[in-house]
Amino acid sequence: MRKLSLALAALSAAAIFLYGCLFPYPYRKEIEAGSCDPLLTIAVIRAESGFRANAVSGAGAVGLMQLMPETAEYVRAMHGYAKGELTDPAYNILLGSAYLSYLLGKYRDIDTALAAYNAGEGRVSLWLRDEAYSQDGKTILSTPFPETNGYLKKVKKNFKIYRILYR
C-alpha cells in the first residue's frame, strides 16, 4: 500500500511538472504587477499570442495580449499612461490587463468580458439584446461567431489549468 501511495505521489508530481512545462508562466512579474486576476491574464496571453511578444494578427492586433491599436490608445488615455510600443511585453501587459479589468468590471461575468475582449464591446452589446445568445441581457451564453466560441473555450481551459498549477 505504501509503495502504491509513493508511486501515485511520484506520478502526480511528474504530471504537475509536465503540465508546468506545457503551461509556463512567463512575464510573471509584469502580469502580477498590473492584473486584477493574473491567472486569467496569463490564460488570455496563451490563447491570444502563444507568448509571442511580436505577434501581429491579420486584423492588426499586436503583442502578447493582441491589442488593437485603437483599443490600446483608448486604454492608455483612460489611465493616463505614457505612450509605448505594443510589442514591449511590459507595456502590452499593462494595457491589456487594464482593458481586461475594465471589461470584467463592466460585464461582471468572465464569459461576457472575454467575448468582448475577443469580438468587441459593440458586438457583445448586440448579442446581449438577442435571446439566442443571452437569456438575461447581462451574460453571454454563446455567440454567432465560431471563433469567439472557440476562444472562450480555450481561455477557460487555460484558466482552469493555470489555477491548478499556480494557485
Q: Domains of the chain by range and CATH?
A: 27-166 (1.10.530.10)
The torsion angles phi and psi of 7, rounded to 5 degrees, stand at -65, -40
pLDDT < 70 positions in the chain? 1, 3-11
Q: State the Cα–Cα distance between residues 99 and 58, nearest whole angstrom.
A: 21
Helix (H, G, I), strand (E, B) or coil at 72: helix
Would residue 48 show up in a list of annotated catalytic residues for this protein? yes
Predicted confidence at residue 24, as pLDDT, reads: 95
Predicted confidence at residue 147, as pLDDT, reads: 96
Q: Pull the grid cell for residue 140.
A: 453571454
Which residue among 30, 32, 48, 147 is the active-site one? 48
Predicted confidence at residue 8, as pLDDT, reads: 47
Q: Pull the grid cell for residue 147.
A: 471563433
Q: State the Cα–Cα distance between residues 39 and 64, nearest whole angstrom.
A: 15
* Nearest residue to 65 (alpha-carbon basis) of 97, 110, 104: 97
